Amino acid sequence: MFETKSGVFLVAGLGFFALAFMVMGLLPWTIYRNEPEATVAEMIEQHGIVPEFVEFAEKFPDRFKEYYGDCNAASFEAALRRGHRIYVGEACWHCHSQFVRPVSNEALRWGPVADAKEYQNELQRPVLFGTRRVGPDLSREAAHRSNDWHIAHFHKPSSVVPVSVMPEYPWFFDEDGYPNRDGMAIITYVQWLGSWIKEYPYFLGDGPRGPGEVEEEKLKFDDI
Amino acid sequence: MATQAAAPAAVSTGDHDRLIEVSLVKWHFLTGFAFLLIAMLAGLLFSMQFLQQYPFKGIEIFSPGRWRFVHTQGVAYGFIANIFLGMLYWAVPRLTHRPVLSRPLSWFLFFAWQAVILATAIGVLLGQAQALEWGETPVWIDPVAEIGLILVAVNFLAPVFKTKGPMYVTLWYFVAALVWTPLVYAMGNFLPQYLMTGVAAGAIGGLFIHDLVGLFVTPLGWGMMYYFVPIILKKPIWSHGLSLVGFWGLAFFYPLNGIHHFLYTPIPMFLQYGAIISTVAVELVVTTVIINFFMTIRGTGDMLRTSIPIRWFYTGMIFYFTTCLQCAFHTTLTFQKIIHFSDWVVGHAHLVMFGVFGFWMLGLLVHLLPRVCNRAGWYSRGLNEWHFWITALSMLVMFFDLMIAGLIQGYMWRDLAAWEETIRASRPYWLVRSVSGTAIIVAQFLFAYNVIRTLAMSPAPEAAPDGEAAPDPTAGGLATA
């Protein structure tokens, strides 16, 4: 078997691959099979429209009308989908992770540890965990910074964070410097990430957290 | 000591042309190397973003993130896949004493594969990437690539299955890789996109990242080593038993590793433990393979000096051992706390893909290119020496640089330093990374110049079609010495 064609083809090639696929691929899938995948519309129905999207409609009414029409669940969904597509296409996910680990003080820095439920939606297809953090984790980014900050930042990151190594994205803006359809979409998407978590992120102690709001264990400094 | 599998009869020179389409090997090599140059330049371009010196700021088609895709996809499918295909067209017919299934199909696959790569480049530059690491190929290209991979497997498996009796070690690896690669590609590109979601898709994504390295690149790479090292050293592999351990150990443990890319995610913890344990097991298996190869060269160590291909191969093996040892440690949960998300992993990936497999392929090119181009030898051995030393030393610099950067980042993050401070601390290391990368690219252009000058030389007389190392042209894939 160890040196024959059938042995290598069937046992090593097909057999071991199938074994690993079942254990490491199908098993987690069966574990989560009862956790339904939410569509974008269901997510919106459940968690609402983020206020930052409404702000675009109020602040840039003409442009918003042109790009997205009325401010409602349908246009919010369109913006989220477009934002997600840009997030993937521009490789944002190669420098920004979308999961908070239970170690290395990440709960102190970013907010609540990632939960399996958060990934059971259409815009995590394929999942955007990420493997590298050149920039901050974004899974708790919602409402963390204002739209204005994001507009300035996407246009020229170093204008708000001088050491930033994030690229500039002038094609997210029209010739007058206002966010265009893509600009509104990507900012809406970023402002949506983690908006389903009711407690605000507590970045470096800035967040509006009070006693009792955060579990004690999360506040323990993790020193390995 | 080594009992080799039954060897096919020696191949006569007349047979050689019947068996092997040499120009196909040549064109896969040359195209693959051209893609390496492009992919490396894309990597350098992207690295300049980290220095705030990106030359094409604010131009959509030059969006740095999109050029990162070109870098990784260009390396994986442009460079590595092309060189491996050329190598297979050379080695498989010699090992089986039969031509591949079809020459027209082979040429069709050659052009189709380049079309797939170019379409991928255009697709990702237009912002159509798929959110799958190593699989950013736009979704509309995936089915075409999958069909191509299946045809490749059929093309090479046909001669293997026509032979009788046991196979030589190289063919174990090749057969397994030809089965695994289409399976891995289909699993990784289709399941998380169309069937699975969320955390379960994350597990599949991890399997895909790892299997692409472990079940496509690694087995083809080691199969190549088992073939070319004995031929150039003119002696058999030290221990056939260890070859068996190496192959079957890899085949069993490697596919189980994938989830170690996503430790501390919501993927069930017992699966994370399983992935860690099998990763450590792979390191033990790798050690047996390394021992086997270093015992093989024992007594002929002078070849490291005299034969540049052997030097590339063995340097790559040392790096392979290094990178696997590193992996056995950093896959543990303790290491993961610090090094995950950091440049440590980037350094690791560069050492694996370029320091090991890239090195082996460059060694292969040094060994075979003059031969498949029908030249008596290289235009300049000196240039090949420079090529080796600049590349190897720069690779080491880049590896240690990124490793240290990763540790600094990891500890600063854990210590809750402001994010800007971690960027500031990383900048000198990013500068060194770009400089060492530039040196590597310069070395590749030296090699490219050598290739061009070699091609410009007059063809070798018919009687001496051998390349630099002048291996026995009648070797049927085994060390006949």
Least confident of A8-12, A142-146, B295-299, B475-479: B475-479
Contact B160, B92 (CB under 8 A): yes
HEC profile for B111-134?
HHHHHHHHHHHHHHHCCCCCCCCC
Nearest CA in chain B to A166: B49
| pLDDT score, position B132 | 92
Residue of B nearest to A165 (CA): B50
From the list B183, B271, B346, the residue facing A27 with the nearest CB is B271
Q: How far is CA B243 from CA B165, B167, B240, B268, B363, in A?
A: 18, 12, 5, 35, 22
> pLDDT tens digits for B355-366?
999 999 999 999
Q: At residue B105, does pLDDT exceed 80? A: yes
Residues with pLDDT less than 50, chain A: 201-212, 216-219, 224
* Mean pLDDT of all residues in B202-213: 94
How confident is the model at residue A13, as a pLDDT?
Answer: 93
Amino acid present at B12: S
Give the pLDDT of residue A198: 65
Quick: pLDDT tens for B168-191: 999 999 999 999 999 999 999 999
* Inter-chain touch B416–A99, beta carbons under 8 Å: no
Split at pLDDT 50, 70, 90, the class of B400 is very high
Strand partners, A173: A179
Q: Which of A6-10, B21-25, B464-468 is predicted least confidently?
A: B464-468
Long-range Cβ pairs for the range B348-353 (8 Å, 24+): B348/B323, B348/B403, B350/B395, B350/B398, B350/B399, B350/B402, B351/B319, B351/B322, B351/B323, B351/B326, B351/B395, B351/B399, B352/B213, B352/B320, B352/B323, B353/B75, B353/B76, B353/B80, B353/B213, B353/B217
% of chain B with per-residue pLDDT over 90: 89
> In the predicted model, what is the mean pLDDT of chain B?
92
Verdict on whether the full-model pTM lies above 0.95: no
What value does the CA radius of gyration of chain B take, rounded to a whole number of Å? Answer: 22
The CA-CA-CA angle for residues B428, B430, B434, to 5°, reads: 115
Residue B458 banded pLDDT, cuts 50, 70, 90:
confident
Determine the pLDDT at residue B12: 57
| Chain A with chain B: Cβ pairs closer than 8 A | 244
For chain B, domain boundaries: 13-456
For the stretch B310-324, pLDDT in tens is: 999 999 999 999 999
| Amino acid, single-letter form, for residue A4 | T
Looking at per-residue pLDDT, the higher value among B309 and B474 belongs to: B309
- ipTM of this complex > 0.85? yes
- Taking CA B140 as the corner, what is the angle to CA B134 and CA B146, rounded to the nearest 5 degrees? 65
Residues in A closer than 8 angstroms to B420, CB to CB, are: 161-164
For an interface test with B, which of A2, A11, A14, A16 has the most B Cβ atoms less than 10 Å from its Cβ?
A16
Question: Can you tell me whether residue B240 is helix, strand or coil?
Answer: helix
pLDDT band for B47, please (50, 70, 90 cuts).
very high
The answer to whether the beta carbons of residues B199 and A119 sit under 8 Å apart is yes
| Half-sphere exposure (Cβ direction) of A26: Cα atoms closer than 13 Å | 7
Does residue B18 surpass a pLDDT of 90? no
- Check: CATH 1.20.210.10 for B13-456? yes
Residue B9, pLDDT > 70, answer no
Indicate the pLDDT class of residue B3, thresholds 50, 70 and 90.
very low
**pLDDT class of B6 with cuts at 50, 70, 90:** very low
Nearest residue to A139 via CA among A165, A167, A111: A111
Q: What is the pLDDT of residues B56-81, one digit of tens each?
A: 999 999 999 999 999 999 999 999 99
